Amino acid sequence: MIKAILLLSGNGSRFGSDVPKQFLNLSGKKIYLRTLETFLPFKEFSEILLVSPKPFHSEILKEVNDPRIRIVEGGHTRQDSSYLGLLACGRETTHVVIHDGVRPFISRKIIQSHLEALKTHAAIDTCIPSTDTIVHVKRIDTIKSIPPRSEYMRGQTPQSFHYPLILEAHEKASDQNASDDCQLALSLGHPVHIIPGSEDNIKITNELDLFLAEQLMRRRQRPLPPSQHSLKGKRFAITGGTGGIGSALASLLKKEGATPLILSKSSPTYPIDLTDFSATQELFDSLGPLDGLINCVGYLSIKPFHALTPDEIDRLITTNLHALLYPCHAAKIKPGGHIVNLSSSSYSRGRKSYTLYSSAKAAIVNFTQGLADERPDLQINAIVPQRTATPMRTTNFPDEKPSSLLSPQAVAQEILTLLKQTQTTASLIEVRKSTPPPT
């Protein structure tokens, strides 16, 4: 029986906050919840223990509802909290995975690697190479020695163990005040296996860490795992489906046995002005329940902002925003179904001569993430492709080299992969042109 222990007992002293850092918000969601959401999909965990200060227990109970979650009161030190979590596991436990609740960027890959390694190793750490030189000091202002960097790594979490081993290690080192569970396993003379960690598996301990974490959230992308989930017989509405990416996606969906419903002004089957809310609502009412909505509609005009006429400003806003928002509002998506909103790499920074377009794409990203939090019954994600060889792009940038652009088919394939997922939401999925291998 495998159990996970998430340590949420820090008091925020290093952060300089009255609220412990694990309960602060990271892009609109508490840090510990972002950590927890990576552990929840793993059915291998019979229980997930949240070791937390008692004053926050009622708050946690309101925010989590998985039956496998149990809240445990933490101690004064990390070692105390880890030990209390271990005691709460119970003697029926065979293995434990212990993780810092303030490492919200832990990947599924690392957790899976730990679960596999537990079959053959009794103690496992997560480590990454040190890119900085390590110095040994006795006083803060004097170096005693500089050890070879190749012999040192930086420890992260999770740390995983056979339960009897780590429980014994804690019981024999009750007064050691260790900051690391593997340190206690080593004190028993037991070898510790290493799983490669990740540079973005950072521990949020101060304000700079939180700032960096916010930037990571903007660019966060977990690679979509392969899925055999069938789309046969499913119905997907595609706005802007007569354009480059929408048209390519429609072709792929047909090959999967799904039915693409093309919605646009030039659609031969469902002609619609998506900037008209009433007409959009009426159309989606007639379509009935859908398995997904993919918003590919967009409009780009290259012109300095002050050179735009009021009508041009209105068209840029309504086509790039209203024509996406109205379908999201009107569509009846089945539980577990998808909303995929197409943004652009221009969302990350305003672009000269297409300020409103890049502003709209930034708004789409934020809207998608917020809507995903509002609708946990659906899978709502944003696709962010780099420059793509669509008719809209080539019309506005006729001198670009085709070899520097993504193909619409590549973007459509990524959307198709996303539509086959069953537990992916609130993600910002960047599609980049692959770098060709050296010849």
Bond from prior residue into 158 cis (ω within 30 degrees of 0): yes
Q: Which residue has the tokens 């260790």?
A: 178
Q: What is the pTM of this model?
A: 0.68
Closest by CA to 30, choosing from 56, 4, 48, 54, is 56
What CATH class has 235-431? alpha beta
Closest by CA to 96, choosing from 68, 124, 74, is 124
Evaluate whether 254 touches 260 at the Cβ level (below 8 Å): yes
Distances (CA, A) of 240 to 122, 341, 381, 434: 54, 11, 17, 26
Per-state percent for the chain, helix, strand, coil, to nearest 5: 40, 25, 40
Tokens linked to 240:
């802007």
Q: Which residue has the tokens 């809209």?
A: 392
Question: So what's the pLDDT on residue 436?
Answer: 41
Question: So what's the pLDDT on residue 439?
Answer: 30
Question: So what's the pLDDT on residue 170?
Answer: 95
Question: So what's the pLDDT on residue 325?
Answer: 99
Beta-bridge partner residues of 159:
98
Evaluate whether 155 touches 127 at the Cβ level (below 8 Å): yes
Evaluate whether 295 touches 262 at the Cβ level (below 8 Å): no
Between CA 266 and CA 274, with CA 271 as vertex, the angle to 5 degrees is 95
Q: What are phi and psi of 136, to 5 degrees?
A: -105, 125
Question: So what's the pLDDT on residue 230?
Answer: 95
Intrachain domains 2-219 and 235-431 with the same fold: no
- Residue 127: Cβ-neighbour burial (10 angstroms; 0-12, 13-18, 19+): middle
Q: 10 Å Cβ neighbour count for 22?
A: 29
Question: So what's the pLDDT on residue 221?
Answer: 57
Beta-bridge partner residues of 266:
none
Q: Which residue has the tokens 């799904």?
A: 258
Spans of all domains in the chain: 2-219, 235-431
Q: What are phi and psi of 146, to 5 degrees?
A: -125, 100
Spans of the chain, pLDDT less than 50:
435-439
What CATH class has 2-219? alpha beta
Tokens linked to 23:
């309960």
